[in-house]
Structure 1
Amino acid sequence: MSVRDKVRSPCVSICALDEHDVCVGCQRTGDEIMKWTQMSNDERREVLLRVAERERRVLL
């Protein structure tokens, strides 16, 4: 698999974890951030679904 085919990180270079261990920039947990480079594309897509749900909650 080429680099071009990998699911890209949602990182926006605003790296700070809140009181729930969620990054205020990309909405991933500290654990998800640490494991990102070892994840398969399917695992990364699952994280991105959780990120989208967290973002929806923040906007409410």
Structure 2
Amino acid sequence: MGKDVKSPCVSLCHLKHEICTGCGRSRSEIKEWKGMKHKEQKATVERAAVRLKEFRRKERKH
């Protein structure tokens, strides 16, 4: 299979409502990352990017 999926972790870990404000992953996604298959990791990265974008959009409004 292709290359490993790079973790979205940016070492700025702070959970807000069970979502990391640094990478956008949920607490469970962070815990399960190493055991995930390639497709699961890729989907997680995509979901995390959407969450992070939404989180930052909301933060700018405040």
Moved over 2 A (4+): none
TM-score (normalizing by structure 1): 0.83
Higher RCO, Cα 8 Å, sep 6+? 2
Please report the TM-score for the alignment, with normalisation by the length of structure 2.
0.80
Name structure 1 gaps, 5 residues minimum: none
Deviations 1:26-56 (A, max 9, x none): 1100000000000011000110111121122
Which structure is higher in strand share?
2
Structure 2: runs of 5 or more not aligned: 58-62
Taking only the aligned residue pairs, the percentage that are identical comes to: 39
RMSD: 1.6
* Alignment coverage as a number of residue pairs: 57
